[in-house]
Amino acid sequence: MKLNKNAQVLLERYLLAVKRELSGRERMDIVAEIESYIYDSLDERHPQAVEVTEKELEEVLNEMGAPRKVAGQYSAQRYLICPRLFPTYLLVLRILLLVVLGALTLSKIISFIVGSMGNVWLELLGLLGSWWSSALSVIGMITLIFAIIERVSEGKSIEEMEELQKLDISALPELPENEKEVKRVGVSIEIVLGVLGVVFLTYVQKTAGLIPYWTNASAAQQMVRLFTENFVRFIPFMLALTGVEIARNLTLLVQGYHSSLTNWWDVAQKVADIVLLIFLISSRPLVTLDIFRAITGMVDLGNAEPQVNTALAVVFGLGIFGNIVDIIQRIVGEVRGQSLKK
């Protein structure tokens, strides 16, 4: 069967429109299949025709419908984020929203109390605005990342995602009575150290950063500054976080095993620690060398004091890095359904 000139042009235009609606490496094969179907339809309708006219071709094309409709019958259903990625997408989104909004809230509280006390309602409105913008940024960023993964991996299997979908008997959480026992000695030591830390910080807060020293055994006690006012104003938050850590360790000691609750508790604790460390780094100087001046009689210590504060900032920075690594490990363990071990 042969098409006349006008019918041939119409068919080529129609197939071109269908082709533009398709994607992927198989679209040429699909277009060829559609062309074959059109010729078969024309042959059934006009078996004796030597040449098919444009009008006769239009009848077939009208029954088939618009090119977008025809192409849609051959295209896989398109998703911004496909069903196989969506559960992981939701999980990552929830975790990051909790972490980001929690850290933002804590930083706002610290900056509000430590800084100048402004209007409470204006500060609250500012916090709500920050929540909104941060939530939109997190949602947009995670959605974009997963959408890119979806496009790049279209038609392919993602090993990491497939691994999450497979049953791993060893990864199933243990029942509470079968959980690995807490190392009671280690937890008890942490509790004792936490209590000593609370006592020390409370004392430093009361003395406004001063500590006692004696030039000799018979000399009267003198007070000299070790911590700056910048450090002292963060002590209430240190006490609060230390108290929360003691409470977590007491919970572990009582229940005798690491549960999902205590693991997420630890994640939240470490996020709060990171926020506090960032504030401390940005509030240098935190310590003075007045006690060394008093003991040695050296008034001029050169650049020793800035160097000590810089070294302290480096230590805090390493602490932030360690906390981030620990947070990632614990979250990954929870995502995989494992009971996290300390």
Q: What distance in Å separates the CA atoms of residue 20 and residue 17, rounded to the nearest whole number?
A: 5
Contact 88, 164 (CB under 8 A): yes
Return the number of other C-beta atoms located less than 10 Å from residue 272's C-beta: 22
| Measured distance between the N- and C-terminal CA atoms of the chain, rounded to whole angstroms | 77
β pairing state of 2-3 and 51-52: parallel
How much is the pLDDT for 339? 38
In tens, the pLDDT along 257-307 reads 777 778 888 888 888 888 888 888 888 888 888 877 777 777 676 678 888
Q: What is the mean pLDDT of the chain?
A: 79
| Burial state string for 153-186 with b = 16 or more CB within 10 A and e = fewer than 16 | eeeeebeeeeebeeeeeeeeeeeeeebeebeeee
Q: Pairing between strand 210-213 and 222-225?
A: antiparallel
pLDDT of residue 177: 45
Number of Cβ within 10 Å of residue 339's Cβ equals 20
pLDDT, one tens digit per residue, over 69-88 is: 888 777 666 667 777 777 77
66 vs 91, which has greater pLDDT?
66
Hey, is 223 helix, strand or coil? strand
Q: Which pLDDT belongs to residue 335? A: 65
Distance (Å, whole) CA 161 – CA 109: 38
pLDDT in tens, 210-252: 888 776 666 677 888 889 888 988 888 888 889 889 998 888 8
Confidence tier at 156 by pLDDT (50, 70, 90): low
Least confident of 6-20, 89-103, 163-177: 163-177
The helix (run of H) or strand (run of E) holding residue 93 is helix 86-114
Give pLDDT, residue 134: 83
* pLDDT top residue among 329 and 311: 311
What is the spatial distance between Cα 258 and Cα 296, in angstroms, rounded to a whole number? Answer: 49
Q: Look up residue 99 and give its amino acid.
A: V
Q: Which residue has the higher pLDDT, 91 or 135?
A: 135
pLDDT of residue 22: 81
Residue 326 has pLDDT above 90, yes or no: no
Q: CA 71 to CA 19: how far, in whole Å?
A: 8
More confident residue, 1 or 221: 221
For residue 215, the 8-state DSSP code is: S
At 315, the pLDDT band (50, 70, 90 cuts) reads very high
User: HSE of 262 in the Cβ direction (CA atoms, 13 Å)?
Assistant: 23
Model pTM? Answer: 0.56
Q: What is the mean pLDDT of residues 200-212?
A: 89
The per-residue pLDDT for 216 is: 67
Q: What's the pLDDT tens digit per position in 102-135? A: 777 777 777 666 665 456 666 667 767 777 888 8
Q: Which pLDDT value is given to residue 193?
A: 92
pLDDT of residue 196: 93
**Distance of alpha carbon 280 from alpha carbon 296, whole angstroms:** 28
SS (H, E, C) 123-147: HHHHHHHHHHHHHHHHHHHHHHHHH
